[in-house]
Chain A
Amino acid sequence: MAFRLPTHELKKGSAELLILALVEIRPRHGYDIGKLIRSRSNGELAFNVASLYPLLYRLERRGWIDGRWTEKAGQRRRRMYKLTPDGRKVLAAQRGGWRSFARAVSRIAGVEI
């Protein structure tokens, strides 16, 4: 049975981390990011267009990711997002935060991760 995260806040708080993590290794475009989140969470997590892109723009404005239009032969031009040095620091900090948060939750709630 599909399990969805219970609260909107939890999803929102984690969404930034997810996106930053996905563009850590290489630049990705918005559709790619949305698809990866859905596929890697086995459909547990999904963003629709109206929430994904505002989130991307917010991260971009904070200077954590950098979106650039790039063109490849035979393809439509796409806006590729890559992690900035600032974003890398934020990602590291958020990972640490999530780790300790998840541990604390699991210890209290007895949930295995």
Chain B
Amino acid sequence: MDFRQQVRIRIAGLALRPERDTEIVEELAQHLDDAVNERRAAGESLAQAQAAALADLDAPGELERRLAPLEQRPRLVLPPPGAPSRGRWLAAGVTDLRHALRSLRRAPGFSAAVITTLALTIGPATAILSIGNWMFWRPTPGVADAGRLAVVWLGQWRDNGVTISSLSYANLEALHPRLRSFAGFAGVQEGSTSVAVGRLAPVVSGVAAVTGNAFDVLGLRITAGRPIRADDDRMPQGAQVAVLSESLARRAFGDLTAALGKPIALNGRSLEIVGVVDAFRGTQPFTAIDVWYPGATYAYINHLAKPMTRDSAPILYYVARLAPGATFESAQAELDVVVPTLAESDSTGDAKFETVRARLFPGLGPMALQRAGYARLLRDLLLVCGVLLVLGCANVSNLLVAHGLRTRRNRMVRLALGASRARLWQLQLAEGAVLALAGGLAGLAIAQWLKQLVVALMVPGLTAGATPDVPLDWRVLAMTTGVALACGLIATILPAIVAARAAATTIVAGDGSRSVTGARRLRTALAVVQLALSLALVTNAAMLVVSLRHLYSVDLGFDPGGVSVHAFDPARHGYTPELIRVYYDGLMDRLGQAAPGEVALSFRAPFGSGRTMRVQPPDAASTPVEVYANAVSSAYFDVLGIPVRRGRTFTPEEVASRADVAVISARLASRLFGEVDPVGQPVTLPGGGSSPGRPLRVVGVAGDTQWRGITDDPELFLYLPFGDRSIGIREATLLVRSDRPMRDVTARVSAVAAELDPSLPVQFSRPLADGIDRALSDQRVFAWMFSLLGILGFALAAVGLCGLLAQGVGERTREFGVRRALGSTRGAIFALVLRHAGWIGAAGTMLGLAGAYLGSHLIESQLFGITRVEPLVYAAAAGALAITVLAATIWPARAATRIQPTEALRAD
């Protein structure tokens, strides 16, 4: 007799752990065997002995009753993996984390898909957040209590712009005692200049001229030496001293104190380094400043021929610190009252202050005048990134639902083993958090690259040496972590609810691969939302791209193709006006001889800043007209391809003699002369105050050109011969039209410049068309970002849909098999899956087109030559969506056609 079996029967009801069960059976059976052997030895028959041994086991149930309280625990304490040991949350957290990592490692494809999706959605958001942080949210490094600082601009403010004015040193002196809302009011003129210092080769670096109180007003900390002080900044000749940034001091000398007392050359002018400033790199994010020097030293550094006086105003940009108790509003109110008094003040009496007003912009940051534009741009981009985040979350949610269904059996076992629902939630949240953080980390890597791209699009034409690095500081990291965790949480909650329901409604023995209706419905809804959002994005992106194409094909009135701009700065290297003229004549001789009619000199080039002047119409009674003025050589119109409508352009003789002649643009001609032929007519440049005006004779009418923007009306233009005395010769650009590559042209110009004066480098060379990119930077940023994010959105939606359909096919294996068995063709099965996808696609399209229409409000201001309701764009985007849906359907649908009836039988 096998006593094992006898024992086993008697303890079967206990349902012990298998190994414990075996142990008890073995031990008791052995006991019984021993008892039988003993009785046999004592002479009993086998049957007698066995009966006696069995009697010893007592009645069935007796053993079980006694063992039950011992061996069977009231609730199996066997913990689900990750159960907290005695409620220590830290230990629980660590085990949760380990569990999450283990379970994600077990599904590498799923984890990779989630992390990639999160990275692709969190990356752009982080890039935009880091730019926002850099421009607006972080306090300017090195500045004390930046919240009390404001930027002040003075000028004549109009609805469509401003003519900036500046304060002379006398103005500032007169202003100081009258400003009670300000603890300080300083000038900080930031720009770039060629710098040679220590062991560094000369480079163009960020340099600022500051008033003597600027370091105090900004509250800068000096790490070595001393700051620039009030006594350094005395007109007419400031002290020849400079303060360096820590970064430059370290690069140039290795050690901060080693820099003190050493010379530094700005534009070849030598200054003594007296101090090093801590962390501060200027008041604006776009230029990193390395050197500060007194404003009164401006004339020396820039080789100005005329010495400066107290009435000189080398500084345009003012930084003010509020007095205790003052607000930005009270300070603005005070400026409104005080600035006009400069007009009647005895010492400074300056008529311009009758119309010049100061405007205060709270906080440092990007150029105050463009701040609102940047803020709007950032807000819109953040909104788009938000949409992408929702998209990504939907996708991750979808993936998690699918993953949750696959791992349902695992969870049900845990529940059966006594894990509480709360624990299951915790485990899922831990998984979500791990995924989110991994995705966030990968997103940071993407952001690192993307942020510089966006900045380059947003702020094109930054000087090469001074292109700033957008920092990924703790604020950005905190924001990214927040965004990532929020994504993880949102994406986890829905699937967790579904999972909890699934676990509750299914028993352990159930089929873990079956979906649950609720989960299916949710996943379908998510797929629809994804398609809709990505369609909305792509539709808007298409509108922007079409607009951009329209903008690039706008007739500018000139042809920028093949034209390059080269700038020189002989004046800042100490050239006198006579020498400058010789210099430019030399340039034109050498370059123009080789290619007559292809090289021109011009005071300013298109897309640069304009110089405005006032022109008196022939009728002396009418008010002067404000026009853009440019001084150009005779080839200018040929080089730029500006047509001459009437008369002629300047003759070389007129340019050489700086004759009192003018060419005017067509719109200016009709404004001044109406129907009358302007050629030969006089125009007058009004003199200031009582001085008589300067008469000019119109010799020609040129076509209208777009100077500043592309979508504005063409400016009214007055052209004067190059070197004209009303404009001067200090500034000039060389315009070259050539079929040759830009590189060759630049090399040629540099070579010629070096022949003339090797110490005077070309300031910059760039294609004129770059100016169009700059003028269209907003539109370019939008078109790029929308397209990038839209394509990303399509890809995400396609992956999500493909997964959903594949899962659906998996669940319907039996159905398809039966259909095949009943004679359905492969084509019919394919159509079945396609129809399912079609419904989702149709729903997504309807929602998406509505979303696109709503979203186009956002970009309406960026649209050009296209309306918000361009049917073709909507149709094209919907077509693209249809193709995407089709592409996402092919694989699952083909899988469905391959199902054999036999497989269907095996499926269950």
Q: Which residues of A contact B (CB under 8 A)?
A: 29-31, 34-35, 48-51, 53-54, 57-58, 61, 76, 78-79
- For A78, the chain B residues whose CB sits under 8 A away are 30
- Are B66 and A51 within 8 A (Cβ)? yes
Of chain B, the residue at the smallest CB distance from A56 is B27
**CB <8 Å contact, B57 and A31:** no
CB–CB B71/A57 < 8 A: yes
Contacts of B305 in A (CB 8 A): none
Total number of residue pairs linking A and B with CB closer than 8 Å = 47
Nearest CB in chain A to that of B68: its residue = A54
Question: Chain B 33-67, CB within 8 Å of chain A: the 1/0 string?
Answer: 01100100000000000000001111000110011
Q: In the complex, which residue of chain A has the Cβ closest to the Cβ of B27?
A: A79
A34 contacts B67, CB within 8 Å? no
B456 at the interface (CB under 8 A from A): no
Q: Which residues of A contact B71 (CB under 8 A)?
A: 57
| A86 → B minimal CB distance (Å) | 18
Whether A30 lies near B70 (C-beta < 8 A) is: no
A48 close to B66 (CB less than 8 A): no
- Find out whether the CB atom of A54 lies under 8 angstroms from the CB atom of B66: yes
Complex A-B: 9 CB contacts under 8 Å: A29-B30, A31-B35, A34-B31, A35-B38, A48-B56, A48-B57, A50-B62, A51-B66, A61-B70
Q: Give the CA-CA distance A35 to B70 in the complex, in Å.
A: 24
Complex formed: what's the CA distance from A91 to B879 in Å? 88
Residue pair B63, A49 in contact (C-beta under 8 Å): yes
- Determine the residue in chain B with the shortest Cβ distance to A52: B31
**Docked CA distance A79–B20 (Å):** 13
**Docked-complex contact B30 and A49, CB < 8 angstroms:** no
B659 in contact (CB, < 8 A):
no
B58: nearest chain-A partner, CB-CB:
A50
Q: A34-B31, A49-B28 are in contact. Are A57 and B57 (CB under 8 A)?
A: no
How far does the alpha carbon of A51 sit from the alpha carbon of B23 in the complex, in Å? 17
Does B179 count as interface, using CB distance less than 8 angstroms?
A: no
Known contacts A30-B31, A79-B27; A49 and B56 CB within 8 A of each other? yes
- B32 contacts A by Cβ under 8 Å: yes
Closest to B10 in A: A50
**B769 interface residue per 8 A CB criterion:** no
Chain A residue with the shortest CB-CB distance to B35: A31
What is the distance, in angstroms, from B727's C-beta to the closest C-beta of chain A?
Answer: 103
Q: Are B70 and A54 in contact (CB under 8 A)?
A: yes
Q: Which residues of A contact B58 (CB under 8 A)?
A: 48-50
> Are B30 and A54 in touch, CB under 8 angstroms?
no
Complexed CA–CA distance, A31 and B28 (Å): 9
Count of interface residues, chain B, beta-carbon cutoff 8 Å:
21
Contact flag A49-B57 (CB < 8 Å), given A54-B67, A54-B70, A61-B70:
yes
> In whole Å, how far is B308's beta carbon from the nearest beta carbon of chain A?
96
Tell me which of B27, B30, B66 contacts A50 (CB under 8 A): B66
- With the chains together, A76 CA to B28 CA distance in Å? 13
Decide if the interface of chain A is mainly helix, strand, loop or mixed.
helix
Tell me, in angstroms, the Cα distance from A31 to B58 when the chains sit together: 16
Query: Quick check: A31 and B31 within 8 Å, CB to CB?
Result: yes
Contact A49 B32 (CB under 8 A): yes
Interface residues of B in 152-202 (CB under 8 A from A): none
What chain A residues lie within 8 Å of B70 (beta carbons)? 54, 57-58, 61
Residue with the greatest number of chain B CB neighbours at <10 A, chosen from A54, A76, A78? A54
Residues of A within 8 A of B38 (CB): 35
**A30 CA to B66 CA, complexed, in Å:** 16
Tell me the chain B residues, 65-95 only, with Cβ under 8 Å from chain A.
66-67, 70-71
Q: Are A57 and B67 in contact (CB under 8 A)?
A: yes
Minimum CB distance partner of A61 in chain B:
B70
B34 adjacent to A31 (CB under 8 Å): yes
Which residues of B are found within 8 Å of A76, using beta-carbon distances?
30
Kindly list chain A residues whose C-beta atoms are within 8 Å of the C-beta of B34.
Answer: 31
Residues of B within 8 A of A57 (CB): 67, 70-71
Q: Is the CB of A53 within 8 A of B56?
A: no
Give the distance to chain A from B407, nearest Cβ to Cβ, in Å: 36
Neighbouring A residues of B62 by C-beta, 8 Å: 50
10 closest residue pairs by CB, A with B: A54-B66, A50-B58, A31-B34, A50-B63, A48-B56, A31-B31, A50-B62, A49-B56, A79-B27, A57-B70
Per the bound structure, the CA–CA distance linking A58 and B62 in Å amounts to: 16
CB distance from B49 to the nearest CB of A (A): 14
Question: For the complex, is B24 an interface residue (Cβ under 8 Å from A)?
Answer: yes
Give the contacts of B214-238 with A (CB-CB under 8 A).
none
A15 and B71 alpha carbons, distance in the complex (Å): 20
**Of all chain B residues, which has the CB nearest A58?**
B70
Determine the chain A residues whose CB is within 8 A of the CB of B56 once the complex forms: 48-50
Instruction: Name B34's closest neighbour in chain A (CB-CB).
Output: A31
Q: How many angstroms between the C-alpha atoms of A51 and B56 in the bound complex?
A: 9
Which A residues are in CB contact (< 8 Å) with B30? 29, 31, 76, 78
A29, A48, A50, A58 interface centre (most CB from chain B within 10 Å): A50
CB neighbours (8 Å) of B57 from chain A are 48-50
Please, which residues of chain A bring their CB within 8 A of the CB of B66? 50-51, 54
Taking the closest CB of chain A, its distance from the CB of B457, in whole angstroms, is 73
Would you give the shortest CB distance from B11 to chain A, in whole angstroms?
A: 10
When chains A and B are docked, how far (Å) is the Cα of A29 from the Cα of B28?
11
**In the docked arrangement, what's the CA distance between A51 and B58, Å?**
9
Distance to closest chain B CB from A8 (angstroms): 13
Q: A53-B27, A78-B30 given. 7 additional CB < 8 A pairs? A: A50-B63, A50-B66, A53-B28, A57-B67, A58-B70, A61-B70, A76-B30
**In the complex, which residue of chain A has the Cβ closest to the Cβ of B37?**
A31
Minimum distance in angstroms from A45 CB to a CB of chain B: 15
What residue in chain A is nearest B54 (Cβ atoms)? A49
Q: B31 contacts which of A49, A58, A61 (Cβ < 8 Å)? A: A49
Residues of chain B within 8 A (CB-CB) of A54 are 63, 66-67, 70
Give the docked Cα–Cα distance between A71 and B32 (Å).
18
For the complex, what is the distance from the CA of A61 to the CA of B56, rounded to whole Å?
Answer: 24
Shortest Cβ gap from B144 to chain A (Å): 68
A35 to B31, CA, bound (A): 10
Distance between Cα atoms of A35 and B62 in the complex (Å): 21
Q: A90 vs B38: C-alpha distance in the bound complex, in angstroms?
A: 33
Neighbouring A residues of B35 by C-beta, 8 Å? 31
The closest CB in chain B to the CB of A54 belongs to: B66
In the complex, A53→B30 CA distance in Å? 12
Docked complex Cα distance between A104 and B696 (Å): 141
B690 to chain A, nearest CB (A): 115
Shortest distance from the beta carbon of B67 to any chain A beta carbon, whole Å: 5
Q: How far is the CB of A53 from chain B (nearest CB, A)?
A: 6
Chain B positions 651-687 with a Cβ under 8 Å from a chain A Cβ: none
Please report the C-alpha to C-alpha distance between residue A108 and residue B63 in the assembled complex, in whole angstroms: 38
B70 closest partner in A (C-beta)? A57
Closest to A78 in B: B30
User: In the assembled complex, which residues on chain B have CB atoms less than 8 Å from the CB atom of A29?
Assistant: 30
Q: Across the interface, name the chain A residue whose C-beta is closest to B31.
A: A31
What's the least CB distance linking B33 to chain A, in Å?
8
Instruction: Tell me which of B31, B32, B56, B63 has the highest count of chain A C-beta atoms within 10 A of its own C-beta.
Output: B31
Residues of B within 8 A of A34 (CB): 31
Docked CA distance A54–B34 (Å): 18
- Closest-by-CB residue of B relative to A79 is B27
Residue among A31, A49, A76 with the highest chain B CB neighbour number at 10 A: A49
Q: A18–B700 Cα gap in the complex (Å)?
A: 130
User: Residue of B at shortest CB range from A69?
Assistant: B23
